[in-house]
Chain A
Amino acid sequence: MNKWEDNRAWFLVIPVFIIVAFSAILPLMTVVNYSVQDIFGPGDRMFVGVEWFKEVLGDSRLHEALLKQFLFSGLVLLIEIPLGIGIALLMPKKGWGSSLSLVLMALPLLIPWNVIGTIWIVFTRPDIGLLGSFINGMGIPFDHTASPIQAWITLILMEVWHWTPLVVLLAYAGLRAIPEAYFQAAKIDGASAWAVFKYIQLPKMRGVLTIAILLRFMDSFLIYAEPFVLTGGGPGNSTTFLSIYLVKIAVGQFDLGPAAAFSLIYFLIVLLLSWLFYQVLQNAGKGGA
């Protein structure tokens, strides 16, 4: 191979570099840039070092938002993963029932996120909403715009409705990939349904479940559109999650410095937690698919 051919490879790679640079690296560097400067106006800025990081890390509202974020993601994972596996186990294995249930499962995933929020606003309205008026009709006062607890319940319900199907689809694919002979062998051994689940299905699903847990954790930890539409972070601050708070600082108050520092910390938290999850899941129940 001559030199020219060696260099020609660069022409194929460079477009990717440029796209990645503009879409990821440059914005990230801009954020890093903002996070260490105080910006008064165009061309009027001052280097402040780690000032903003100190301020953000000491912000009690951020602590509160972070705590809420953990609670939210934790609840979402605790509900969606077992529920998703359960539904996948109950779904028909073949025939038209299997196709039908797959299509039904995929439906919530096809709806734009802000539309989901709108659907749930209407769905849970105490006066005309199907769910809201039904609950009120039973004599239980329900209004998620007034009660923080009810706002949380509504949000989690919405999140579970929206994203459990993803877990179902992944788990279903994992289950279908297990050769039939495993179940026959277990039957011959006299293993119970629980043993089959614990010793065959669960270990064999480890790969897809790792992906499901990572995706669900990251998505729920970064959630913005749905609570923004449904509750706007309220009532009070009760559903002000990290990204909502971040947008309030950056766009609402135009505090670009602290917002940039906040973004970087946020990014590192997600990165660190995802890595932790991945490590734990890699070592849990080794020997799966």
Chain B
Amino acid sequence: MGLSLKNMQKKVDGEEHLIDINLDFESGSRNVILGRTLSGKTSLLRLMAGLDKPTKGQLMLDGKDITGMSVRKRSVAMVYQQFINYPSFTVYDNIASPLKVSKMDKKEIERRVQEAAQMLHLESMLNRLPSELSGGQQQRTAIARAIVRDADLLLLDEPLVNLDYKLREELQIELQEIFKKRKSIVVYTTTEPAEALMLGGNIVVMDQGKVIQTGSTPEVYHHPATTKVAEVFSDPPINYISCHVKGDQVLLGGGVNFPLNYHLKSLTDDHYKLGVRSNHFYLKKRGENDVRLAVKVELAEINGSETFIHADFSGERIVIQEVGIYSKKIGSEIEVYVNPSRFFVYSDTGKLVIAPS
């Protein structure tokens, strides 16, 4: 039982926003939709909420077709990127507003609002107006308003994107706890791989209006089925190095070669693309089997405790993410190490051949 999307399609002015979407969400499940900007995440949420009608396809709830049902009759709650609250209502009234519309008993409203406010640490702010709150508190109010009605479907459209880093981490942790206690289907969209991993549950990876992979979040992270999924699900985007397997040797550009080992042993002679996540490159040799790459630095950026080095390895652009602060001159030649056990191997057509075990 749950929510199913069957062959859903959305066209706006002849432009395809969503193409043939087939998805199943179970009751009580936590789901992340991961995709870049304009990949169709918000369009999909709007269809699920009933704010838009699909051009084709059906939306089924517990086996019943609800495609044409109006939003008002559905049991949906939604949180947006922007902090959406009624400007002239206090925090209490804002949280209570969906309950008041459904003409609930006053005492029950009071109990539920207090409960939601407690979960989101808003107890001391119930009498304030949204304009008297910080951004984080405004979004907490909006989230409280969404969870207070115990809707069948709880949709969150990049809810933390407009908050600063600290607040985002704080709310990510709290939201996990809150979602665990819900019976609703939770669908959460994000552009950030780290956020998706943190929320866990199931994942739907989207690109250009299409679902490109689904599965449990860690499973998809460790086995991105195509190069596209790997790009979307890595930050910075995964790096690719072309290679050629010949006999028991892997030949890379720049005359680098290394023997087939670890999970790579089963590879047959062919051209492949090796995918490496940026955090698996190191500036120092760490193991016996590490492969040494000579690269030319194009840019080095420092982000607090990490250094991102953009470099060129025989014509291919790679990004090295190393913990600690390193200053590298632009144009200088440096050595980078990577262990072959970290390689994702993709065929020339972009399909996953082998993932690291």
Interface string of A184-221 (1 = CB under 8 A from B): 11011111000000011001100000000000000000
Residues of chain A contacted by B49 (CB below 8 angstroms): 184, 188
The reply to whether A182 and B130 contact each other, CB–CB distance below 8 Å, is: no
Across the interface, name the chain B residue whose C-beta is closest to A191. B101
The residue among B76, B88, B101 with the most chain A CB atoms within 10 A of its own CB is B88
Partner of B88, one of A187, A188, A288: A288
Knowing A286-B129, A287-B130 touch, does A188 contact B51 (C-beta < 8 A)? yes
The reply to whether B88 and A184 contact each other, CB–CB distance below 8 Å, is: no
Residues of chain A contacted by B129 (CB below 8 angstroms): 286-287
CB proximity to B under 8 Å, residues A250-289: 285-289
Residues of chain B contacted by A58 (CB below 8 angstroms): none
Q: How many A-B residue pairs have CB under 8 A?
A: 60
The reply to whether B78 and A184 contact each other, CB–CB distance below 8 Å, is: yes
The residue among A189, A199, A200, A285 with the most chain B CB atoms within 10 A of its own CB is A189
Distance in angstroms from B135 CB to nearest chain A CB is: 14
Q: Which of B79-87, B250-258, B289-297 touches A?
A: B79-87
Distance in angstroms from B89 CB to nearest chain A CB is: 7
- In this complex, how many residues of chain B approach chain A with their Cβ under 8 Å: the count is 24
The reply to whether A182 and B76 contact each other, CB–CB distance below 8 Å, is: no
Residues of chain A contacted by B200 (CB below 8 angstroms): none
Cβ-based interface call for B307 (8 A): no
CB proximity to A under 8 Å, residues B131-172: 131-132
The reply to whether B51 and A286 contact each other, CB–CB distance below 8 Å, is: no
Residues of chain A contacted by B193 (CB below 8 angstroms): none
The reply to whether B98 and A286 contact each other, CB–CB distance below 8 Å, is: no
The reply to whether A184 and B101 contact each other, CB–CB distance below 8 Å, is: no
Residues of chain B contacted by A185 (CB below 8 angstroms): 78, 80, 84
Cβ-based interface call for B71 (8 A): yes
Interface string of B53-90 (1 = CB under 8 A from A): 00000000000000000011000111011101011110
Knowing A187-B72, A188-B77, A190-B102 touch, does A288 contact B87 (C-beta < 8 A)? yes
Cβ-based interface call for A41 (8 A): no
Partner of B86, one of A179, A188, A200, A286: A200
Residues of chain B contacted by A188 (CB below 8 angstroms): 49, 51, 71, 76-78, 98
Residues of chain B contacted by A184 (CB below 8 angstroms): 46, 49, 51, 78, 80
Cβ-based interface call for A1 (8 A): no
Cβ-based interface call for A181 (8 A): yes
Knowing A187-B51, A190-B72, A287-B130 touch, does A181 contact B88 (C-beta < 8 A)? no
Cβ-based interface call for B97 (8 A): yes
The reply to whether B98 and A199 contact each other, CB–CB distance below 8 Å, is: no
Alpha-carbon distance between A255 and B65 when the two chains are bound, in angstroms: 83
Residues of chain A contacted by B87 (CB below 8 angstroms): 199-200, 203-204, 287-289
The reply to whether A181 and B82 contact each other, CB–CB distance below 8 Å, is: yes
The reply to whether A179 and B88 contact each other, CB–CB distance below 8 Å, is: no
Alpha-carbon distance between A285 and B71 when the two chains are bound, in angstroms: 29
Distance in angstroms from B143 CB to nearest chain A CB is: 12
Knowing A184-B78, A287-B131 touch, does A190 contact B101 (C-beta < 8 A)? yes
Across the interface, name the chain B residue whose C-beta is closest to A182. B84
Across the interface, name the chain A residue whose C-beta is closest to B93. A199
CB proximity to B under 8 Å, residues A228-270: none
Residues of chain B contacted by A288 (CB below 8 angstroms): 87-88, 131
Residues of chain A contacted by B89 (CB below 8 angstroms): 199, 287
Distance in angstroms from B90 CB to nearest chain A CB is: 9
Distance in angstroms from A76 CB to nearest chain B CB is: 27
Distance in angstroms from A190 CB to nearest chain B CB is: 4
Interface string of A155-191 (1 = CB under 8 A from B): 0000000000000000000000001011011011111
CB proximity to A under 8 Å, residues B28-54: 46, 49, 51
Partner of B98, one of A190, A285, A289: A190
29 contacts between A and B (CB under 8 A): A179-B82, A179-B84, A181-B80, A182-B84, A184-B49, A184-B51, A184-B78, A185-B80, A187-B51, A187-B72, A188-B76, A188-B78, A188-B98, A189-B97, A189-B98, A190-B102, A191-B101, A199-B88, A199-B89, A203-B86, A286-B129, A286-B131, A287-B87, A287-B89, A287-B129, A287-B131, A287-B132, A288-B131, A289-B87
Which 4 A-B residue pairs are closest in the complex by CB-CB distance? A287-B129, A181-B80, A203-B87, A203-B88
19 A-B pairs besides A184-B51, A189-B97 with CB distance below 8 A are: A181-B81, A181-B82, A184-B80, A185-B80, A187-B71, A188-B49, A188-B51, A189-B98, A190-B71, A190-B72, A190-B98, A199-B86, A199-B87, A203-B86, A203-B88, A286-B88, A287-B88, A287-B129, A287-B132
